[in-house]
Amino acid sequence: MLAVTVGRSFIIKLKIMRRRSFLQFPLAASTLVSQAQPLSKDRPNKGFKVDANKDRYQEELLIMGGKFDCKVSSRDTEGDLLIYDTIRQEKGGPAFHLHHFQDEWFYVISGDFIVKVGDEFFSLYDQQ
């Protein structure tokens, strides 16, 4: 399988390269490349490491019954990506909300969560 990610959330997945897909893929790829934006000169160009149970900026954020550690800040990526590691101390979470310009994803290590995406509800749980 081939998976190509461009921009914030556009993904092309091709399981079997059929003739029609083979002919359409270069057209779609060239369209996406033409829309790519160059990186800003202000954007950091070196990596960094954030240890487990630590925050990128050594700030403590305790809200909604959980501890939130920033791992990658939108300041690092000009708003393209933001990653928090969250440890919940009690049941609950944020109220339903909508992100107009960002995607949101969850990776559950332990516990159970209910997530609403559009009009659909999903049960998320650890795989242990």
Q: Residues 7-24: what's their mean pLDDT?
A: 47
Q: Are residues 121 and 65 in the same domain?
A: yes
So what's the pLDDT on residue 71? 93
Confirm whether 109 is domain-assigned.
Answer: yes
Alpha-carbon distance 104 to 81, whole Å? 10
CB contact set of 66 (below 8 Å; sequence gap of 6+): 86, 87, 88, 89, 90, 93
Residue 82 has pLDDT above 70, yes or no: yes
Please identify which residue in the block is written with the tokens 């049960």.
Answer: 123
Alpha-carbon distance 89 to 92, whole Å? 9
Alpha-carbon distance 85 to 109, whole Å? 11
Alpha-carbon distance 79 to 113, whole Å? 26
Which of 2-11, 14-23, 35-44, 49-58 shows the highest mean pLDDT?
49-58
Residue 101 has pLDDT above 50, yes or no: yes
- How far is CA 87 from each of CA 6, 60, 90, 105, rounded to the nearest angstrom? 30, 12, 9, 15
Q: Are residues 31 and 65 in the same domain?
A: no
Contact 103, 8 (CB under 8 A): yes
Confirm whether 106 is domain-assigned.
Answer: yes
**pLDDT tens, residue by residue, 105-128:** 888 888 888 888 888 999 988 876
So what's the pLDDT on residue 120? 92
Confirm whether 74 is domain-assigned.
Answer: yes
Confirm whether 9 is domain-assigned.
Answer: yes
Q: What domain range includes position 27? A: 2-35
Confirm whether 49 is domain-assigned.
Answer: no
Residue 26 has pLDDT above 70, yes or no: no
